[in-house]
Amino acid sequence: MSRLSVNDLSLTLQGKRILNSVTMPEVSGGEIIAVIGPNGAGKSSFVKCLCNLYKHTGKICVDRTPITAASKKSFAKNIGYVPQTIGAGSHLQVSEMLVLALKADSLAWGVKQSDLLKMAEMLDRLHISHLQNKYCSELSGGQLQMVSLAQALITNPSLLILDEPTSALDLSNQLQTLALVRDYVDTPLPLPESHTPKKPIALVVVHDLNLALRFADKVMLLSDGELASFGALPDTLTPALIQAHFNVETELLYGSDNRPSLAVLRAI
Amino acid sequence: MTHSHSPTHTSSIDSQQQAWLTTSVAEYHQQSKRRLLLLAALTVLVVIAFLSDLYIGSQGLSYETFLQGLLHSEVAPGEINRRAVVIVWDIRMPSAIMAVLIGMVLAVSGAQMQTVLKNPLADPFTLGLSSAAGFGAALAIVLNKSFASYLPIPEAFFIPLNAFVFSLMTALLVSFAGIVKRLTPATVTLLGIATMFGFNALLTLVEYLASADQLQELLFWIMGSLAKASWLDIKILLVFMAISLPLIFINAWKLTAIRANEELARARGISAERIRVQVLILVSLLTAAAVSFAGTIGFVGLVAPHIARMLVGEEQRWFLPATLLIGGAVMSFTSLISKALVPGVLFPVGVITALIGIPFFLSLILSSKRNHWS
């Protein structure tokens, strides 16, 4: 997927308007888009609509072609999704969770050697090889989040959707996780059938605006179910915009590496 | 943005890493091998249970006579021990086979109800299927009314058919209410529990109207029994299994995915609702067939899946066969105990499953620290 855009997306759940005609301008492969907004703004709902978890109106376009009922399934296959609530779920080991991610919609019982190699590589890449034989119910929240990310990455998705992937992680793991996402979207996907290597796109719902500033290329600010702002970082995320939607006074500071970060001064 | 560039998608990995990967893959294979061995051990257990069940009976046979009967072996040239053959093959064999099959069917039904409804308490009992079957049987026994009267089928099916129809109708009703009203798994379970209480009340009403003889027969049916099993019953049950089990087995990965995280499964394009309904209908067919032949035998459907889960986890490729085997073994041993407890007296198996199953089950769940239903 080299280009993705969303047009006029609306969602109503149980008579309540959750998203109102949200449009996301075209984003390209190699970009991380931070989806931000106050609580209840519709961030999670928006990414869930992309994952086809809710019945919504509006158009999602991949490479300028709208997704139809027929192309829905192949679009779903290209998505790597890390949901907000993970939970221990069922009685499965970490290795089984990863193999499951590769086999989920398969009817054949067998697991190929290549699938197992992918599993091993992914465990190694996320530094969770030591968890391979642990049952998910034995893992901490942060470890579960890493497993969930591994499940999403293992299929080499061209659209990575992460719903608050760092909520259960400590500072170092937050940075590592987003660096991993950064690295993932910067590397072209190994697609044998296409001649021009395509880079993946990542949509990341985050609460921490500093993480957005540090890792994302563009920001999408949702407020009250509507698109409040969309644009490149760091320029789009001005203290005035933040004050208008988050009700806090902030100041942009520049560190020794000349990168901006936000200092929250007070709530209004 | 600055960032380190590690070989994310490339396959060029250094030798140390390669060694790591090989270890990891080998560990997975090792795990699979262990589980395969466990399944083999469970199969042996089923065979032992089955043979012991066959060996024990009111007509005490010596070990030698038992083998003569089982193997049709010649006691003298051209002569076989006809009495032993009749006892082993005609009297004991049908109920011994039935024990294994009923155990398997109830266990796999319970397992899949727990899987698709995401509820550790779901089983044929708690979803009202057994109570519905009980009520259907009661109508046939006490009021002499059965769907079988309208069909050209043998007299022997007068009670089972009624039980089957009531059980299946209940299952379909609960499933379809779930679809039409778009109910969550928890609500479907509650609906099943409400149905169970409803049918239990109706059953009590019919019992109130019954004569002493009818009550005795009904009680025997409700408590579960394998004594009346015939070869025809076995064939019918096998047909049900041959239709339902492959359709459940083929969805092994999807079921694993739905149970692991339904949202994730749906995002992958798996239609969780469709699979849920499909599996509920299949296990309803299985349960209805099982209870209509053997009466309401509780607990196997609840206990066997939990034991299987503790032994092999919940990847359905292991979980399904393990559940089947454990169900078969548990039921077979229960049948054996029901005969051996007091020689000459046949206790209802349904009572034995509960009496033996409950302490065993409690010790299992209380000793397990893992909670995977949150």
Interchain contact B182–A (C-beta under 8 A): no
Give the chain B residue whose CA is nearest to the CA of A162. B264
Residues 351-370 on B with a CB inside 8 Å of A are: 370
Hey, are the CB atoms on B370 and A136 less than 8 Å from each other?
A: no
User: What pLDDT was estimated at residue A160?
Assistant: 96
DSSP B306-350: HHHHHHH-S-HHHHHHHHHHHHHHHHHHHHHHHHHSBTTB---HH
Nearest by CB: B270 against A83, A92, A104: A104
Contact in structure between A197 and A189 (CB atoms under 8 Å): yes
Chain A nearest-CA residue for B119:
A90
Q: Do B20 and A188 touch (CB under 8 A)?
A: no
Q: In this complex, do B3 and A184 lie within 8 Å of one another by their Cβ atoms?
A: no
Task: Write the DSSP symbol of residue A188.
Answer: P
What is the structure's pLDDT at B256?
95
B33 touches chain A (CB under 8 A): no
Q: Would you call B31 and A103 a contact, using CB atoms and an 8 Å cutoff? A: no
Interface touch B28/A116, C-beta < 8 Å: yes
Q: What is the pLDDT of residues A98-151, one digit of tens each?
A: 999 999 988 889 999 999 999 999 999 999 999 999 999 888 888 999 999 999
**pLDDT of amino acid B281:** 86
- Cα→Cα distances A251→A210, A237, A254, B137, Å: 12, 11, 10, 77
Residue B372's pLDDT is what?
58
- Measured at the CA of B265, the angle between CA A96 and CA B308, to 5 degrees, comes to 45
Measured between alpha carbons, how far is A48 from A42 in angstroms, rounded to an integer? 10
Q: What is the ipTM of this complex?
A: 0.91
Mutate which: B251, B266, B268, vs A, most A CBs within 10 A: B268
Do residue A183 and residue B8 have CB atoms under 8 angstroms apart?
Answer: yes
Contacts of A105 in chain B (CB under 8 A): 253-254, 257, 268-270
Span A245-266, mean pLDDT? 90
Q: Which of A76, A107, A186 sits opposite B268 (nearest CB)?
A: A76
Name the residue in chain A with its Cα closest to that of B250. Answer: A107
Give the Cβ contact number of residue A261 at 10 Å. Answer: 15
| pLDDT given at position B7 | 45
pLDDT at residue B124, rounded to an integer: 85
- Say whether A92 and B315 touch across the interface (CB within 8 A): yes
The pTM assigned to this predicted structure is 0.90
| pLDDT at site A268 | 83
Rounded Cα distance between B286 and B301, Å, is 12
Alpha carbon of A46: minimum distance to chain B alpha carbons (Å): 13
**B259 interfacial to chain A (CB closer than 8 Å):** yes
Residue A88 has pLDDT above 80, yes or no: no
User: What per-residue confidence (pLDDT) applies to B10?
Assistant: 46
DSSP string, A37-92: -STTSSHHHHHHHHTT-S--EEEEEETTEE--TTTHHHHHHTEEEE-S-----SS-
Record: contact B9-A137, CB cut-off 8 A: no
Q: Does B112 touch chain A (CB under 8 A)?
A: no
Greatest CA separation for chain A? 59
Q: How confident is the prediction for chain A on average, in pLDDT?
A: 91
- Rounded CA separation A189/A155 (Å): 11
Residues in A touching B320 (Cβ below 8 Å): none
Q: Does B263 touch chain A (CB under 8 A)?
A: yes
User: Is the CB of residue A124 less than 8 Å from the CB of residue A153?
Assistant: no
Chain A residues with CB-CB distance to B256 below 8 A: 90, 92, 100, 104
Best residue of A32, A54, A91 to probe chain B, by most B CBs closer than 10 Å:
A91
Query: Hey, are the CB atoms on B261 and A83 less than 8 Å from each other?
Result: yes
* pLDDT tens, N- to C-terminus, chain B (374 residues): 334 444 444 445 577 778 888 899 999 999 999 999 999 999 999 999 999 999 998 777 888 889 988 998 888 888 888 888 999 999 999 999 999 999 999 999 999 999 998 888 888 888 888 889 889 988 998 988 777 778 777 777 788 888 889 988 998 888 778 777 777 878 888 888 899 999 999 999 999 999 999 998 888 788 888 888 899 999 999 999 999 999 999 999 999 999 999 999 999 889 888 898 899 889 888 988 898 888 888 889 988 999 999 999 999 999 999 999 999 999 999 999 998 888 878 888 888 888 877 787 787 778 765 555 65
pLDDT tens sequence across A168-212: 888 998 999 999 999 999 988 876 666 677 899 999 999 999 999
Q: A266 — phi, psi (to 5°)?
A: -160, 155
Cβ proximity of B90 and B158 under 8 Å? no
* Closest by Cβ to A104, choosing from B253, B309, B310: B253
Higher pLDDT, A96 or B157: A96
CB contact under 8 A, B314 and A90: yes
Q: Please judge whether A79 and B267 are an interchain contact, meaning their C-beta atoms are less than 8 angstroms apart.
A: yes
Closest-CA residue of A relative to B28 is A95
